């Protein structure tokens, strides 16, 4: 079997949305023109319904395409398979519209090949979403997950609860960043408009929502192109907008005070069920996403209703309270013939086996989900979050943080810690997620999506057994040219700078390989940012643009956090300079230290300060790395390096104590 994802995207004269399938009745080949009478590629009623619901098997997309001197022949069991064959035929066209003689037997590796667009943090019009459906469809992406609700705005009309859209869909600032942090000329966090909502008809109201009719139209539009729309309604967290519009659903009944629904209140379950009823009436998708991530549970421990519910459940564990709510909604959806999807925080043994977990943290949670008998969709932030920088951050538009290049996305290995049998049974597929806190415009959305979503689409269709990044990058670069020529603002791979040059080779210095001891009150984070552990500060390896690359070591603890490490050179040596690189990336709360202090000793007990470097704390839009150093000649065996946290608290990230 020869698998084909894309060779050439489409003939240069075509434009997105021009027509559903711009296929000729005659096809040019390198040896002449051959006849092609296309099968009826518009989805028949049964397959259209299957696509709307998203519950078809991989075999439904299988096809055989033969191009010979006698003509073009397509064999497929379904109209969806014929659609995929027709897309491939167009992809085969060269600049002159010619296709080669070939036989292609093709089927996807995974049934779920998804893209998620966050329309809450920034609202995007229906026409723009349709444009993305056109593009994604050509790359055989078959799920579009819409993140419809979050603190920044509720985006779906719910007729039973009109304030969700007349009030909770609008705010004083179009920019999420300004709305979340407060406008500087109003005092930043003291801004009275910070994180407030507005009535739709108030002057200056920014935002928007989709009517139910518009969403039905979108569902049909996507289904015609082989894509199922997956709606997400967040619960119990990320719900500030709901709990301000309807504060009786929170633990305190106060607007602007809570982010989490009250899981001890009957009103919460009534509200969520009524909302999901309208969601299901609009979206025929078999899968309904309920969020479930990052619940702070801030008031659950003191709320009388929550305490009563926990007593009824026989638990004092707040996570069990969340699990009860998620399990309840799962049973509700199952009763209506649907299946619940949630982020990996929902994992618990009490959920229905008819549950799918979308894994976003790391592969360990995929194993946890599978052990409980749940299906998984793999979408880890390390490789599948497309809100991070895709090239040198100081040359890119502002992003959430991190460093997620096309090569890194392409390097994703789905289900790496699962057995082959577990993968085959439980891994539904892969998905790329674009959160839009720092993506305010349509042009920026496309810049972040393309070409990285192409890498995940290829993994989803071809699997990972025949990966070849140089060959893929060459094809992706050609796709970028075609995308840009047809009005899609894709990132131009020809301008790619790549990682910090400091990462390319180890640095030689006096402390390389020497023992490092950390002060007990200032340990590095061992959960996620330990790097190489105790040897990391002297292993000669410097970090790149990704603070999670295994070379940067992270230190956290609010305003009390500090970096405090002592290097033993083994013998007394002459030193002239001590330096350390620190990263600042304000999106994920990584800041430069205020003070960098170097002290020396010959006995490891009595230290004398050699010098210090001070930097005033400030927030910056552009991530960067700065070398902090002390230049002073001395003779010493032990070198103590300390860094005090920014006035903002947050994280310190360091990569190497260089001694010269």
Residue 637: both structure tokens together: 């065996």
- Bridge pairing between strands 63-68 and 71-75: antiparallel
Asked whether the beta carbons of 58 and 107 are under 8 A apart, the reply is yes
Active site residue 238: yes
Asked whether the beta carbons of 358 and 291 are under 8 A apart, the reply is no
Residue 491: both structure tokens together: 């990132």
Is residue 305 reached through a cis peptide bond, with omega within 30 degrees of 0 on the bond before it? no
Residue 256: both structure tokens together: 């602007």
User: CA torsion sign, 342 to 347 to 350 to 354?
Assistant: positive
For residue 641, CA distances in Å to 164, 190, 536, 638 come to 53, 36, 14, 10
CA distance linking residue 538 with residue 434, whole number of Å: 36
Cβ-in-10-Å burial (0-12, 13-18, 19+) of 485 comes to: exposed
* CA angle 439–445–450, rounded 5-degree value: 135
Give the active site residue among 106, 118, 134, 150.
150
Asked whether the beta carbons of 491 and 391 are under 8 A apart, the reply is yes
- Other C-beta atoms closer than 10 Å to the C-beta of 77 total 13
Nearest to 329 by CA among 308, 307, 354, 306: 354
Report helix, strand or coil for 148. coil
Nearest to 293 by CA among 136, 198, 439, 433: 433
* CA 333 to mean position of chain CA atoms: 26
Active site residue 214: no
Report helix, strand or coil for 49. helix
β-strand partners of 144? 115, 229
CA distance linking residue 410 with residue 430, whole number of Å: 12
Contacts (Cβ under 8 Å, ≥6 apart) of 314:
none
Radius of gyration for the chain, computed over Cα atoms and rounded to the nearest angstrom: 27
- Other C-beta atoms closer than 10 Å to the C-beta of 492 total 15
For residue 425, CA distances in Å to 143, 353, 420 come to 20, 13, 9
Nearest to 118 by CA among 468, 560, 411, 433: 433
**Residue-wise burial string across 120-136, b where 16 or more C-beta atoms lie within 10 A, e elsewhere:** bbbbbeeebbbbbbbbb
CA distance linking residue 322 with residue 300, whole number of Å: 10
Give the active site residue among 184, 254, 294, 468.
294
Most distant pair of Cα atoms in the chain: their distance: 89
Residue 33: both structure tokens together: 């023109």
CA distance linking residue 351 with residue 153, whole number of Å: 29
Stated as kind and residue range, the H or E segment containing 425 is helix 420-426
Asked whether the beta carbons of 401 and 590 are under 8 A apart, the reply is yes
Asked whether the beta carbons of 207 and 196 are under 8 A apart, the reply is no
CA distance linking residue 341 with residue 287, whole number of Å: 6
Active site residue 368: no
Nearest to 400 by CA among 589, 593, 641: 589
Give the active site residue among 238, 289, 383, 426.
238
Nearest to 250 by CA among 259, 83, 313: 259
Catalytic residue ranges:
150, 238, 294
């Amino acid at each position: 079997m020869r698998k084909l994802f894309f060779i050439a995207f489409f003939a240069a004269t075509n434009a997105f949305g021009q027509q559903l399938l711009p296929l000729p009745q005659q096809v040019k080949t390198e040896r002449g023109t051959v006849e092609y009478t296309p099968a009826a590629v518009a989805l028949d009623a049964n397959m259209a319904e299957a696509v709307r619901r998203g519950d078809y098997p991989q075999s439904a997309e299988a096809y055989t395409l033969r191009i010979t001197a006698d003509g073009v022949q397509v064999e497929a069991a379904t109209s969806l398979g014929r659609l995929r064959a027709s897309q491939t035929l167009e992809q085969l066209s060269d600049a002159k519209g010619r296709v080669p003689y070939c036989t292609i037997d093709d089927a996807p590796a995974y049934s779920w090949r998804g893209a998620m667009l966050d329309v809450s943090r920034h609202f995007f019009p229906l026409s723009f979403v349709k444009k993305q459906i056109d593009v994604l469809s050509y790359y055989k992406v078959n799920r579009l997950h819409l993140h419809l609700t979050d603190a920044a705005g509720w985006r779906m009309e719910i007729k039973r609860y009109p304030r969700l859209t007349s009030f909770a869909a609008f705010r004083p600032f179009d920019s999420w960043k300004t709305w979340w942090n407060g406008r500087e000329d109003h005092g930043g966090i003291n801004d009275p408009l910070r994180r407030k909502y507005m009535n739709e008809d108030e002057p200056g109201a920014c935002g928007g929502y989709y009517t139910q009719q518009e969403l039905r139209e979108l569902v049909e539009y996507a289904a015609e192109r082989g894509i199922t729309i997956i709606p997400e309604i967040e619960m119990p967290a990320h719900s500030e907008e709901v709990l301000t519009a309807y504060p009786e659903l929170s633990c305190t009944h106060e607007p602007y005070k809570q982010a989490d629904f009250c899981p001890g209140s009957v009103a919460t379950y009534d509200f969520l069920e009524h909302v999901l009823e309208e969601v299901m009436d609009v979206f025929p998708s078999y899968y309904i996403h309920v969020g479930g991530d990052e619940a702070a549970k801030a008031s659950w421990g003191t709320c009388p209703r929550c305490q009563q519910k926990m007593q009824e459940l026989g638990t004092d564990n707040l996570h069990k309270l969340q699990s009860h709510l998620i399990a309840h909604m799962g049973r509700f959806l199952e009763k209506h013939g649907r299946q619940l999807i949630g982020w990996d925080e929902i994992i618990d043994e009490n959920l229905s086996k008819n549950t799918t977990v979308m894994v976003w943290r790391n592969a360990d949670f995929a194993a946890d989900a599978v052990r409980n008998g749940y299906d998984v969709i793999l979408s880890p932030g390390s490789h599948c979050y497309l809100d991070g920088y895709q090239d040198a951050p100081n040359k890119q538009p502002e992003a959430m943080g991190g460093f997620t290049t096309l090569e890194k996305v392409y390097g994703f290995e789905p289900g790496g810690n699962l057995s082959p049998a577990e993968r085959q049974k439980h891994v539904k597929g892969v998905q790329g997620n674009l959160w839009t806190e720092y993506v305010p415009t349509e042009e920026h959305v496309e810049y972040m999506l393309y070409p990285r979503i192409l890498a995940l689409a290829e993994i989803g269709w071809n699997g990972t057994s025949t990966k070849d990044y140089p060959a893929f990058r060459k094809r992706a670069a050609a796709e970028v040219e075609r995308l840009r020529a047809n009005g899609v603002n894709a990132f131009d791979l020809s301008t790619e700078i790549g990682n910090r040059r400091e990462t390319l080779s180890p640095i030689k210095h006096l402390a390389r390989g020497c023992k490092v001891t950390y002060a007990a009150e200032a340990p590095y984070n061992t959960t996620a940012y330990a790097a190489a552990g105790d040897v990391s500060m002297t292993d000669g390896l410097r970090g790149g643009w990704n603070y999670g690359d295994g070379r940067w070591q992270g230190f956290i603890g609010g305003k009390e956090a500090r970096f405090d490490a002592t290097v033993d050179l083994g013998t007394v040596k002459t030193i002239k300079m001590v330096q350390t690189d620190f990263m600042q990336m304000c999106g994920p709360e990584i800041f430069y230290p205020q003070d960098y202090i170097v002290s020396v000793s010959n006995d490891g007990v009595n230290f004398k300060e050699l010098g210090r470097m001070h930097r005033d704390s400030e927030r910056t839009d552009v991530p960067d790395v700065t070398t902090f150093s002390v230049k002073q000649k001395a003779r010493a065996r032990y070198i103590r390096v300390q860094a005090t946290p920014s006035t903002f608290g947050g994280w310190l990230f360091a990569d190497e104590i260089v001694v010269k």
